[in-house]
Amino acid sequence: MSTSRQHADRFAELLDHAETGRRPHRRSDKESELVSLADFAMSMRAMPAPAPGDDLRAGLRAMLLAKIEREGIGATADQKATEAAARSALAGKTQVIRRVPTHGGGRARAAILIGIATGVLASGVSLASTDSVPGDALYSVKRTSEQAQLVLAGSDASRGRLHLEFAKSRLVEVRQVDEGTVAAVLATMDSDTRSGVQLLFTAAMQQRNASSIDAVMAFISQQRTSLTELRLGTPAARTSLDLLRDVETRANLLRAALLSGCSISRMDDLGPRPAC
């Protein structure tokens, strides 16, 4: 039996005995690491069980239907079985992992494996939705993925940078949607811009560091070039350009405030406003 297989079996054994507290001791160079990993895995039981949301279900349905339409539906027994499995998955009834009769710890192991499988599946759908635009079946999955990234971001500055990246994505989408959708996409872009600069400007003033302001200025330069090209055929782009002008003005004021030690008078939709 390979060493990796032995470690996997030992980890499964530790999970099976975790609830009783009786763990048979084994001599292994990985024993302490496996015990720590098993303890961490069991601590995750308090977390709510992962379950696909409505947006993810809708995205999966669209992806599976597109695959069926693309490859056709045959009449063989294997194809019919595959279709039945797909329908069960969409209904939330598929047993992803076969249940193996074990002690109580086996349930914990199955729950962990199901969580891992769900995460991998969600990541695949998220990746497939990357190039989607408003009106596409997977666009809601793309937006849900963006919200998840914001939740997982480690700091306000990181969240601010993510908002600006999403604003760039909206500008790319504008060029791919019909004329009636352009204004709505630009409005969403402006909302991401405001959220991003507010977080970054706040971080800059709290940390007394201009690096976050530099990130905003780089964003403005890139966005302005693309928006200027878009403006000729899209009147709604003027509002977005005006917002970038206001953001640039605030960035310059905050940079000067950092140099002079000026305090902040109040907060608004662009973040801190210097008193001087």
pLDDT tens by residue, 166-201: 999 999 999 889 888 999 999 999 999 999 999 999
Residue at 224: amino acid letter: R
Predicted structure pTM score: 0.56
pLDDT tens digits, 23-65: 666 666 667 776 776 666 666 566 555 556 666 666 666 666 6
Query: Rounded distance, CA 56 to CA 140, Å?
Result: 8
**Is it the case that residue 148 has pLDDT exceeding 80?**
yes
Contacts 24+ apart (CB under 8 A), 168-174: 168/219, 168/222, 168/223, 171/223, 171/226, 171/227, 171/230, 173/133, 173/134, 174/230, 174/234
Most confident of 1-5, 67-71, 149-153, 198-202: 198-202
Query: Rounded distance, CA 272 to CA 276, Å?
Result: 12
Question: Concatenated DSSP letters for the chain?
Answer: --HHHHHHHHHHHHHHTTTT--------TTHHHHHHHHHHHHHGGGSPPP---HHHHHHHHHHHHHHHHHH----SHHHHHHHHHHHHHHTT----S------HHHHHHHHHHHHHHHHHHHHHHHHHTTT--TTSTTHHHHHHHHHHHHHH-SSHHHHHHHHHHHHHHHHHHHTTS-HHHHHHHHHHHHHHHHHHHHHHHHHHHHHT-THHHHHHHHHHHHHHHHHHHHHTT-TTHHHHHHHHHHHHHHHHHHHHHHHHTPPEEEEETTEEEE--
pLDDT tens digits, 109-147: 555 544 444 454 455 555 656 778 888 878 888 888 888
pLDDT tier for residue 248 given thresholds of 50, 70 and 90: very high
Q: What is the pLDDT of residue 32?
A: 72
